[in-house]
Amino acid sequence: GRTHARLRAELKIVSFSEKLGDEAEVLLSPPRGAYHLFASHCWLWAQDQVGVCKNLLRALLPECRVFLDVDNLETISDLEMHIAESDVILIMLTRGYIASKNCRRELLEAMRLHKPIVILQETDPSKGAAHSIELSAEIEQTILSPAELGSCTELIRLVEQGGGRILNTCTCMCLDVPH
């Protein structure tokens, strides 16, 4: 697996003090709900990556509250409640995301509630990279409800639209989900 330091370099995350100077103070408003960020991901491919993202955010902004299932989830039936309690949804998009029932639940609820969504799309095939063709194939191979089909199709459409900035291992897109 990739080390914390290497992932930090790969994601090219720099501290706020490097950007704003040593005297700069960065304040993070309290979350409107219980969490600033909910990390949605496919366990098979992205468990390590989202853990590192959470740790980096906490290192940069100690008061940042990030929901991560392995740390915060007590019962799987509470997923939608935790989405509702989070200000922003981070989707670590990899192979298996659409095939995962729980990822689809998180995506569907985020879109239903018009939550802002940030997508980190893995680009390394050995780490689960999935492009729109593979994601579309997941849709075809998975039995989806009409609502799930709509949200997954919208996710792929947004990814295809691009508008993101390429980092070393991920494509990052901030999506403003229409209300």
pLDDT for residue 26:
53
Residue 119, helix vs strand vs coil = strand
pLDDT for residue 21:
47
How far apart are the C-alpha atoms of 54 and 36, rounded to whole Å?
Answer: 11
Q: What angle do CA 22, 55, 15 make, to 5 degrees?
A: 20
pLDDT for residue 27:
60
pLDDT, averaged across the chain: 78
What single letter denotes the amino acid at residue 136?
A: S
According to DSSP, the residues that pair with 173 across neighbouring strands are: 119
- pTM beyond 0.85: the answer is no
The pLDDT-based confidence of 177 (bands split at 50, 70, 90) is very low
Q: Name, in order, each residue with C-beta under 8 angstroms of 69's C-beta and a sequence gap of 6 or more.
A: 39
Q: Per this entry, what is the length of the chain? A: 179
Task: Tell me the pLDDT tens digit for each residue of 139-148.
Answer: 999 999 999 9
Q: Are 66 and 57 in contact (CB under 8 A)?
A: yes
Task: Tell me the pLDDT tens digit for each residue of 4-63.
Answer: 444 443 333 333 334 444 444 556 788 888 999 999 999 888 888 888 889 988 888 888
C-alpha torsion sign, points 166, 167, 171, 175:
negative
Q: Name, in order, each residue with C-beta under 8 angstroms of 77's C-beta and a sequence gap of 6 or more.
A: none
